[in-house]
Amino acid sequence: MVVMRPKDLLGRNGEALAADFLENQGMRIVDRNWRCPDGEIDIVAIEGDTLVIAEVKTRRSLAYGHPFEAVDAAKLARLHRLSTAWCREHELPAPRRRVDVVSVIDSGVGEPQLEHLRGVG
């Protein structure tokens, strides 16, 4: 039996909430937790004619800053490289792409709070 660490469980739950949220916004989820040697994409979605690479950051509180603050220039550059690798693996020509970030604050009390930044970089 595999036991998940609380931090990993929080992240997995946050990603599930974010996927549901994005679907409710009209996006179609086409992949989750895609991995390659260079890293991982949390969510790959389609919105209209745009491929959306969504990074999900989940926290229990804002004690260590807002989750959006964890997505710096290096992380954005990696996500852009990963989007190219995903397209190559799935044999897609270079579609319109953007990187979004979904913040999930789940304190365990009340409903989790989600925020969505479109086209962060």
- Give the pLDDT band of residue 1 (cuts 50, 70, 90): low
Domains located in the chain, CATH noted: 6-109 (3.40.1350.10)
- Give the pLDDT band of residue 7 (cuts 50, 70, 90): confident
pLDDT digits (tens, 9 = 90+) for 35-76: 999 999 999 999 999 999 999 999 999 998 999 999 999 999
| Residue burial 27-66, b: 16+ Cβ < 10 Å; e: rest | bebeebebeeeeeebbbbbebeeebbbbbbbbbbeeeeee
pTM, two decimals, is 0.91
